[in-house]
Structure 1
Amino acid sequence: MTPEERLEALGLTLPEVPKPVAAYVPAVRTGDLVYTSGQVPLVDGKPARTGKLGAELTTEEGAEMARICGLNVLAALKSEVGDLGRIRRIVKVVVFVASDPAFSEQPKVGNGASELFAEVFGEAGKHARSAVGVSALPLDVPVEVEVIAEVA
Structure 2
Amino acid sequence: MMRILPGDLDDPRVIGLLDIHLKSAREETAPGSAHALDLTGLRASGIRLWTIWEDETLLGVGALKRLSPEHGEIKSMHTAQSMRGRGAGSAMLRHIIETARASGMSRLSLETGSWDYFQPARALYRSHGFVECPPFGDYVLDPNSVFMTLEL
Q: TM-score range by the shorter chain?
A: 0.3 to 0.5
TM-score computed with the length of structure 1 as normaliser:
0.39
Q: Which has the higher strand share?
A: 2
Structure scoring higher RCO (CA < 8 A, sep ≥ 6) equals 1
TM-score computed with the length of structure 2 as normaliser:
0.39
